[in-house]
Structure 1
Amino acid sequence: MTWIAALPMYNVTPSLENEWRGWLADVLRMVKPACRIVDPDEELHGFWRRPNLLISQTCGYPLMHGLREQVQLVATPRFDAPGCEGAHYSSVIVTRADAPFDTLASCRGARVAYNQDDSNSGMNALRHAVAPHSQEGAFFRAALRTGSHVGSLRAVADNHADVAAIDCVTFAFVCDEMPELARQVRRIGMTAASPGLPLIASDTVPAATVEALRDALNEALALHPERAKRLRLQGFSALPLEDYERIAQLESEARAVGYTRLG
């Protein structure tokens, strides 16, 4: 079997994507399987379920909604980004720099942008933050699905939406790589924290190979300290799957007050 690997989640710019691929290539050289780095040519939910997936990164929300039955956790990155604490992260709630909103509560009746229906950072954590302010299951007057966090930032900056929740790691990368876009928005809050985006492997990957991957993750960081700095990577934690129940808790707490979807 030829293994495949990909890191699709934090490729904010092409140059940053090249840095991720370089780091991943070093990891794979240390583990030494026959493995190709690929660009997923299918919907990510299908890609993550490929039986020859050696390593990739997913979001915690799909992990807790069926994916965990077909994959195993490898590690969770620890990022140097505002809003991160250890292997946990939050989302930055933003509005336009010149918008009249100062808090999430003041956004009642505004337009929300979010990246995907199954995103923890862009949808689930924001739904949890909004839920206490909702009335009869509603808060925003319109919701726009953009397909990506950068798309949500552009929607807010271009006045197609008024507010969005952006994964704090993505937002830090945007500040680094796309400062013009970052200057067009303003932070008005943070969501609750939850475990960060985990690195996963197919459940067909041998346990010894998973352990070798865990060792190689940190070893590859040490090879190029400047690259690790640009990727804002501090290291990796091996979190138990039970820690990711926090994501389901955020969903349950929003549903408990009748706020089931952004709107």
Structure 2
Amino acid sequence: MNKIAALPMYNVSPALAADWHALLADVLRRVEPAAAIVERDDLHAFWRRPDLLLSQTCGYPYVLGLNEYVQLIATPEFDAPGCDGANYSSVIVTRSDAPSDSIEACRGARAAFNAADSNSGYNALRHTVAPYARDGRFFGETRETGSHLGSLHAVADNRADVAAIDCVTMAFARDAYPELTGRLRGIGYTRSSPGLPLIASKHVSREQAGALRAALHEALTTDHERARRLKLKSFANLPPEAYDSIRQMESEARVANYARLA
């Protein structure tokens, strides 16, 4: 049975999607040339497949049960504002002409989020807002957009007032879509947490997992220009418990009686 792979999380533009595809192809050539690069809509099912050789997920679904099916391969270290080593945070954005200059000032505003299972767009924003919520509410309205780019457009087009955007996505968006991001401004950052991990099925052997780590570093160092475009500095090998901080953010919001973004 041939193994499968995909890097779906940071395809912010067609050019970036092509670079991520090329990086993955280089890794697979070094580890298992017969593996197929695929596209899937149902990522939660895809990540749980026993033939998964390499992919990338969000830390929130990882700690909410995906960790039972996969093993950590590496965590990218990005060169982007809001990143610190293998940790990242979310930029809280509003429109350039909006009066709010802090998250506290956004009480009653319309919030956009990409998905409820997103650490950067939902969990981190909920954690940031929780200390200011009253009776489990802070925003006047919330809107699910399906992607960070969707949230950026919702705020820029005045369909929402505030959103939390993965700082790596924001850096990519500033490069690829300056007209869009030029209509927005940041008013703060969320708490940082480990970045989006690269994963493999637990059926992947220890030897092959090690080969994947070595191939990732080799693919990074052999094409410096591609690494620059992808803002990749290195790959960290974090222990699974490093991601417990994401669950802790959820727990702290629940203790503050703010279990959902509202």
TM-score range, shorter chain: over 0.9
Aligned residue for 1:188? 187
| Correspondences of 1:71-90 after superposition (within 5 Å) | 71-90=70-89
Aligned residue for 1:54? 53
Unaligned 5+ residue runs, structure 1?
none
Aligned residue for 1:6? 6
Secondary structure of the structure 2 residue equivalent to 1:100 = coil
Aligned residue for 2:22? 22
Aligned residue for 2:34? 34
TM-score normalised by the chain length of structure 2: 0.99
d(CA) in 1 for partners of 2:32 and 2:70?
21
d(CA) in 1 for partners of 2:226 and 2:252?
39
d(CA) in 1 for partners of 2:32 and 2:241?
30
Secondary structure of the structure 2 residue equivalent to 1:236 = strand
Secondary structure of the structure 1 residue equivalent to 2:21 = helix
| Correspondences of 1:222-233 after superposition (within 5 Å) | 222-233=221-232
Matched, 1:217 2:216: yes
Matching residue's letter, 1:12? V
Matching residue's letter, 2:199? I
Contact 1:3–1:33 (Cα < 8 Å) also in 2? no
d(CA) in 1 for partners of 2:91 and 2:186?
7
Secondary structure of the structure 2 residue equivalent to 1:2 = coil
d(CA) in 1 for partners of 2:193 and 2:222?
29
Report Cα offsets for 1:201-241 as digits up to 9, x if no partner. 00111110000000010100112111000000001001000
How high is the sequence identity, in percent, across the aligned residues? 62
Equivalent pairs counted in the alignment come to 262
TM-score normalised by the chain length of structure 1: 0.99
| Correspondences of 1:96-115 after superposition (within 5 Å) | 96-115=95-114
d(CA) in 2 for partners of 1:33 and 1:96?
46
d(CA) in 1 for partners of 2:73 and 2:32?
16
Secondary structure of the structure 1 residue equivalent to 2:39 = coil
Following TM superposition, by how much is the alpha carbon of 1:107 offset from its aligned partner in structure 2, in angstroms?
0.3
Runs of 4+ in 1 over 2 A off after TM superposition: none
d(CA) in 2 for partners of 1:70 and 1:226?
34
Following TM superposition, by how much is the alpha carbon of 1:32 offset from its aligned partner in structure 2, in angstroms?
2.8
CA RMSD of aligned residues (A): 0.6
Report Cα offsets for 1:154-210 as digits up to 9, x if no partner. 000000000000000000000111111110111001000000000000011111000
